[in-house]
Chain A
Amino acid sequence: MGKTIAEKILSRKSGRDAYANDIVVADVDFRMGQDGTAPLAIRSFEKMNGESVFDPERVAFVIDHSAPSPLEGVSALHSLMRRFAKEKGITLYDVGEGVCHQLLPEKGHVGPGSLVIGADSHTCTYGALNAFATGVGSTDLAAALISGKMWFKVPETIKFICHGRLPKGVYSKDLILYLISQVTADGATYMAAEYTGEAICALSVEGRFTISNMAIEMGAKVGLMEADDKVWEWVRSHGSGEFEAVSPDPDASYAAVKEYDVSNLEPYVAKPHRVDNGVPVGEVKGTPIQQAVLGTCTNGRLEDLAVAARILHQRRVHPGVRLIVAPASRKVYLEAMETGVLQTLVRAGAAVVTPGCGPCVGTHNGIPSDGENVISTANRNFKGRMANNKAFIYLASPATVAASAVRGEITDPREFLE
């Protein structure tokens, strides 16, 4: 019987002929924890009587969620991570290096066919590189630090086929917000999503990361894609690891196959307080905003900043708006400097913060006030997400965020892209 990408990778890593709904214990290729989850993992590791870390070269800790530390309590957790990483020989990406989901691919730690766990729900991002990458909790991470393994229920797969080409002014973020609005926030719970079709193939690898990143927002365990030439080129230019890609068999069995023609898709915006509240931008156009956030693990890459810079070039951010920009990594930050993108954004009035997660997850660097509307390139708009449950978060593409920052209200970016 044919297999999906998820079934093939979990079979390979568990040494068993595994199919959907089987339970396997599999060898994990790479393990990651960030500062919101690694401290608890260290505590679980110690309680489990863990001594050494299995293959420490294939582990990274990333200090990104609350970095640089805004509080004494956070500083203590960061110190704990630094001490543990040094003791056990684990790679530590400290303050300023960037967001974990940018760093793992960028540093060459993940690639086609690999099995990756990260103690962060958006670990599914690397599915764009054909990796079975999934978010877990701290105790799962601790167990994997000790044993190098984790248990998995092999997921069923939903296949998303996206036909056509995205029109001008419509980006991968619009596509994933649209897909989530179609299948709902729990439409793919416990499942793997496989994304394919002409529209996906036409995207850059950066654009594909945005789609896989948000697989969790439809409940999926992973958001997988096949590795084409673009992926291999990306992987080779970001490291030297050995990887072996996996394609689904033509006779693989799917829980559902969903087909969409996206050639007439419009820019999409997810309204508060649910990610599956996506509507065409026209429906929320004119909504006043007080804060705009450009960055996060969903859309903080050079391509995203450059799209925003095109709109903000020789324009000013509306006086009633704070535009906060967080590049996804130091590398992205430097590239944005070297290409003039950052200069354009800062000239337009942007406040650039350290590469990291702060504004998205509500730890610091842009907590909205009561009753304020925020438009953000992040992946979640839950009530209270940005640390104020009386604020309202709208999710959109970098282009829509930039256009809205200029006007001071939610704006269709196509008005700026003549």
Chain B
Amino acid sequence: MELRGRAHCFGNDVNTDYIISGKYKFKTLDMKELAQHVMEDLDPDFARKVQPGDFVVAGRNFGCGSSREQAPLALLNAGVGAVLAQSFARIFYRNAINTGLPVVVCDTSSIRSGDELVVNLERGVLKNLTQGTETPIKPLPPFMLKILADGGLVEHFRKYGTFNLE
């Protein structure tokens, strides 16, 4: 799975309230509507600026906080192609895999907003085309790659009717 996009950089501890505030998520199941408010407490222009396939790039502990799956879904519906961070909070990480949003653990410290990036999940490598550098990424466990390759847990269950992770 090779992904290509432009970086939008954020800091450490981007929590689920910042990704999509609780005040929106209770009103609707329309993820397109939620996507208009994604990251707005950190960057009010984000939803307008983000192009299909762009990457959210962050520091440590991305997605800490709530179990709300609206967080990865709002990112996906805003067009975000993957999230790259030094570490992820565990519920967000699961939710991202389950909803089909690629999450990449790697050293993001040298990435700048606007950099053109290419991620290869199987080969475990991140290329920064703007800076001409290559960084290894922590490979995903095979069963997570399988769920992602299926398009998320919904599609996995549609295919197998239960967990088929062996």
Which of B13, B69, B99, B162 lies in contact with A186, CB distance below 8 A? B13
Q: Does A143 contact B (CB under 8 A)?
A: yes
Are A146 and B162 in contact (CB-based, < 8 A)? yes
Are B26 and A36 in contact (CB-based, < 8 A)? yes
Are A189 and B163 in contact (CB-based, < 8 A)? no
Binding-face segment, B59-67, B107-115, B123-131: B59-67
Q: Please name all residues of chain B whose beta carbon is closer than 8 Å to the beta carbon of A143 when the two chains form the complex.
A: 153, 157, 163
Contacts A137-B98, A189-B89 given; does A274 touch B13 at CB 8 Å: yes
Chain A residue nearest in CB terms to B15: A382
Q: Contact mask A33-45 → B, CB, 8 Å, 1/0?
A: 0011101100110
Per the CB 8 Å criterion, the residue count for chain A at the interface is: 54
Q: Does A353 contact B (CB under 8 A)?
A: no
Chain B residue nearest in CB terms to A65: B26
Q: Contact mask A55-87 → B, CB, 8 Å, 1/0?
A: 000000000011000010110010000000000
A121–B141 Cα gap in the complex (Å)?
Answer: 23
Are B22 and A186 in contact (CB-based, < 8 A)? no
Binding-face segment, A167-175, A338-346, A383-391: A383-391
Contacts A40-B70, A384-B17 given; does A47 touch B29 at CB 8 Å: no
Contacts A25-B163, A185-B13 given; does A380 touch B90 at CB 8 Å: no
Q: Please name all residues of chain A whose beta carbon is closer than 8 Å to the beta carbon of B60 when the two chains form the complex.
A: 186
Q: How far is the CB of B58 from chain A (nearest CB, A)?
A: 12
A139–B157 Cα gap in the complex (Å)?
Answer: 10
Per the 8 Å Cβ criterion, residues 265-291 of A in contact with B are: 274
Q: Does A300 contact B (CB under 8 A)?
A: no
Per the 8 Å Cβ criterion, residues 18-55 of A in contact with B are: 23, 25, 35-37, 39-40, 43-44, 47-50
Are A147 and B15 in contact (CB-based, < 8 A)? no
Q: Does B18 contact A (CB under 8 A)?
A: yes
Chain A residue nearest in CB terms to B88: A189
Q: Please name all residues of chain B whose beta carbon is closer than 8 Å to the beta carbon of A389 when the two chains form the complex.
A: 21, 41
Q: Please name all residues of chain A whose beta carbon is closer than 8 Å to the beta carbon of B162 when the two chains form the complex.
A: 146-147, 149
Per the 8 Å Cβ criterion, residues 132-155 of A in contact with B are: 135-140, 142-143, 146-147, 149, 151
A224–B161 Cα gap in the complex (Å)?
Answer: 32
Q: Contact mask B3-32 → A, CB, 8 Å, 1/0?
A: 000000000010101100111011111000
Q: How far is the CB of B37 from chain A (nearest CB, A)?
A: 11
Q: Please name all residues of chain B whose beta carbon is closer than 8 Å to the beta carbon of A149 when the two chains form the complex.
A: 162-163
Q: How far is the CB of A135 from chain B (nearest CB, A)?
A: 4
A59–B143 Cα gap in the complex (Å)?
Answer: 27
Contacts A143-B163, A189-B87 given; does A73 touch B68 at CB 8 Å: no
Q: Does B102 contact A (CB under 8 A)?
A: no
Which of B22, B67, B91 lies in contact with A387, CB distance below 8 A? B22
Q: Please name all residues of chain A whose beta carbon is closer than 8 Å to the beta carbon of B143 when the two chains form the complex.
A: 23, 151
Contacts A25-B165, A363-B23 given; does A137 touch B94 at CB 8 Å: yes
Q: Does A221 contact B (CB under 8 A)?
A: yes
Q: Please name all residues of chain A whose beta carbon is closer than 8 Å to the beta carbon of B15 when the two chains form the complex.
A: 382
Q: How far is the CB of A134 from chain B (nearest CB, A)?
A: 8
A44–B154 Cα gap in the complex (Å)?
Answer: 6
Q: Does B152 contact A (CB under 8 A)?
A: yes
Q: Please name all residues of chain A whose beta carbon is closer than 8 Å to the beta carbon of B152 when the two chains form the complex.
A: 139
Q: Does A234 contact B (CB under 8 A)?
A: no
Per the 8 Å Cβ criterion, residues 204-252 of A in contact with B are: 216, 219, 221
Are B165 and A121 in contact (CB-based, < 8 A)? no
Q: Contact mask A176-207 → B, CB, 8 Å, 1/0?
A: 00000000011001100000000000000000
Are A387 and B23 in contact (CB-based, < 8 A)? yes
Q: How far is the CB of B48 from chain A (nearest CB, A)?
A: 18
Q: Please name all residues of chain B whose beta carbon is closer than 8 Å to the beta carbon of A39 when the two chains form the complex.
A: 29
Contacts A189-B61, A219-B61 given; does A36 touch B22 at CB 8 Å: yes
Q: Please name all residues of chain A whose beta carbon is closer than 8 Å to the beta carbon of B153 when the two chains form the complex.
A: 44, 139-140, 142-143
For A48, A77, A190, the residue with the greatest tally of chain B CB atoms inside 10 Å of its CB is: A48
Contacts A121-B66, A136-B67 given; does A189 touch B23 at CB 8 Å: no
A124–B90 Cα gap in the complex (Å)?
Answer: 13
Q: Does B77 contact A (CB under 8 A)?
A: no
Q: How far is the CB of B14 from chain A (nearest CB, A)?
A: 10
Chain A residue nearest in CB terms to B72: A137
Are B27 and A73 in contact (CB-based, < 8 A)? yes
Are A119 and B64 in contact (CB-based, < 8 A)? no
Contacts A74-B27, A274-B13 given; does A48 touch B61 at CB 8 Å: no
Interchain Cβ contacts under 8 Å between A and B, 19 examples: A36-B66, A37-B68, A43-B29, A44-B154, A71-B26, A137-B94, A138-B69, A139-B153, A140-B153, A146-B157, A149-B163, A185-B13, A185-B64, A186-B61, A189-B61, A219-B64, A380-B65, A382-B65, A385-B17
The 3 A-B residue pairs whose C-beta atoms are closest, nearest first, are: A137-B95, A137-B69, A186-B61
Known: A136-B91, A185-B64. 9 other contacts (CB 8 A): A39-B29, A40-B29, A121-B67, A139-B69, A143-B157, A146-B161, A186-B87, A219-B64, A383-B17
A interface residues (Cβ-Cβ under 8 A, vs B)? 23, 25, 35-37, 39-40, 43-44, 47-50, 65-66, 71, 73-74, 77, 118-121, 123, 135-140, 142-143, 146-147, 149, 151, 185-186, 189-190, 216, 219, 221, 274, 361-363, 380, 382-385, 387, 389
